[in-house]
Amino acid sequence: MVSNRCKIAVKEALRKLGLHFIVVDLGEVDIMETLTKEQHEDLKIALHSSGLELMDDKRAVLIEKIKNAIVEMVHHAEDNEIVKTNFSDYLSKKLDYDYTYLANLFSEVQGTSIEQFLIAHKIERIKELIIYDELSITEIAWKMNYSSVAHLSNQFKKMTGLSPIHFKQLKNKRRSPIEEIGNEE
């Protein structure tokens, strides 16, 4: 689960099955009852019909928690202190596992490192911020916890093939006012 909509869908599925939950959080559900095999299968089907998946494998659950922590940190963290925290410390503390174990597990299962997954999400968030055009590149670099604009620019170019400034210029060229279509000189 990576969104509030997912949490709502899970709560609804649990209610329809008469199950009582203690916690429904991103990637985690704690219910009061011990599920029978039939209830387990019914829940799996109900979640699947909402486009969600019931994960029983502890490793898969942990991978999902890592992904959710990254999404939360990069896309949803309004608390800038989360972003300013050393990511490995943040993840270890949040999931209560040694970072080396998490990193090795993630790489083994996903075929990419936590760092590369984090960078990919940061770049997507930076693209959003550039498109919104509310912050300067310097402000985006600070918000996304880059040591400098140059560091952000280098990483952005490495991932997208474009500098942030060029990306911004392309964004501005995408649409033309209706009056100007067909009137180019």
Q: How confident is the model over 46-61, as pLDDT tens digits?
A: 888 888 888 777 888 8
pLDDT at site 87: 86
pLDDT above 70: percentage of residues in the chain: 85
Tell me the C-alpha to C-alpha distance, in Å, between residue 101 and each of 67, 107, 129.
15, 10, 33
pLDDT at 81 over 60: no
Decide if pLDDT at 1 tops 50.
no
Rounded Cα distance between 126 and 90, Å, is 21
Where in the chain do CATH 1.10.10.60 domains reside?
A: 116-173
pLDDT of 111-146, one tens digit each? 999 999 999 999 999 999 999 989 999 999 988 889
Model pLDDT for residues 24-40, shown as the tens digit of each residue? 876 678 888 888 889 88
> Per CATH, is 116-173 categorized as 1.10.287.3510?
no
Hey, what amino acid is at 9?
A
For the stretch 144-159, pLDDT in tens is: 889 999 999 999 999 9
Q: How high is the pLDDT of residue 137? A: 95
Task: Categorise residue 51: left if φ over 0, alpha if ψ from -120 to 50, beta otherwise.
Answer: left
Pairwise pLDDT comparison (24 vs 3), residue with the higher score: 24
* H helix runs in the chain, sequence order: 4-16, 37-49, 58-71, 80-84, 87-95, 99-110, 114-132, 137-143, 149-160, 164-173
Q: What is the pTM of this model?
A: 0.68
